[in-house]
Amino acid sequence: MILQSIVDGLVVGCTLSLGAIGLTLTYDILRFANFAHGEFATLGAYFALSVVALLGTGTVFAPFTFGANLLLALVLAMVLTAGLALLLDGLLFRPLRRSEVAVALVIASFGASLMLRNVAVFVWGPQPAYYARSIAIVREWVPGVRFSADEGFVVVCAAALMVALHAFLAHTRLGREMRAVADNPSLARVAGIDVARVIRWVWVIGGGLAAVAGVLFGLTVQVTPEMGFNLILPLFAAAILGGIGSVPGAMLGGLIIGLAQSLAVPLLGAAYKPAVAFGLMFLILLVYPRGLLGDRTGSP
């Protein structure tokens, strides 16, 4: 059971890592905690679900349960969710940023979260939904450890996106501009960097990755309007544990939180999953107050 929990934790941790990356980018550059980020994952999952319902599953790739149209739906969900994030920023967050009152942004994100969650219930209904009704083929690669092809797709897809994003931030001009704005927005503006353009790309990347996280989570579990609400606290835990502003830290934090939650099930019971994850985060932050991969240069 422990080995099975480790495998399950890696799958969940991959989805948490993708969501935590967008959350940590938003906090690092825009300086506020966006509680509506979980709803981006929810709506991204529902956008993909609508495309699959409209086009059908398409050619099913054995031994996967989903069809070719889900891959197209995944791309469209990223685009639509990124557009939603930009729209929300233009209508709500950008005017509030001018007031320079950080708590106003946080409260506004709470309100946006409630609104988007109820929009999902109104449009798609409160009942759970699935991308495919077929039963996943599960194999035992190690005796007693079950692993499906769908879960393998989740891990590979998440890993590929993490590597691509790391390369983007490290080796492209826009990635360097994003890091400069995160360090000092005023100095970056004086240096000729278009800060407004960088902020738009932060919302695009964060919204797109949240959509992928929602689709991957829904692929292995189910899609519900409360999905983002249930994910937002583990996402914050992953971002804080890895170090706010650190993309590799968000990746590592997501994997640790996913493993901690899954290992809590055979050891303590499912009811203690959140407590174990947050207890682990608390213990690690006692040793590394800025997170595992956070900035060590500033004052504590």
Specify whether the CB–CB gap between 40 and 84 falls below 8 A: yes
Task: Please state, in angstroms and rounded to a whole number, the distance separating the CA atoms of residues 14 and 5.
Answer: 14
Task: Please state, in angstroms and rounded to a whole number, the distance separating the CA atoms of residues 77 and 47.
Answer: 5
**H or E segment at 145?**
strand 145-148
Phi-psi region of 31 (alpha: psi -120 to 50; beta: other; left: phi over 0): left
What's the confidence (pLDDT) of residue 298?
43
What's the confidence (pLDDT) of residue 295?
65
Burial bucket for residue 222 (CB in 10 Å: 0-12, 13-18, 19+)? middle
Helix residue spans in the chain (DSSP H):
2-30, 37-55, 68-88, 94-99, 102-124, 149-171, 173-183, 185-190, 195-220, 227-242, 247-267, 273-287
Domain layout of the chain by residue ranges: 2-287
Tokens 């967008």 sit on residue:
22
What's the confidence (pLDDT) of residue 299?
35
Instruction: Name which CATH class applies to 2-287.
Output: mainly alpha
Query: Over its length of 300 residues, how does the chain's per-residue pLDDT go in tens digits?
Result: 788 888 889 999 999 999 999 899 988 888 888 999 999 999 999 999 999 999 888 887 777 888 889 999 999 999 999 999 999 999 999 998 887 777 888 899 999 999 999 999 999 999 999 987 776 666 666 677 888 888 889 999 999 999 999 899 889 999 999 989 988 888 999 989 999 999 999 999 999 999 999 999 999 888 999 999 999 989 998 998 988 878 889 999 999 999 988 888 877 777 788 788 788 888 888 888 888 887 654 433
What's the confidence (pLDDT) of residue 79?
97
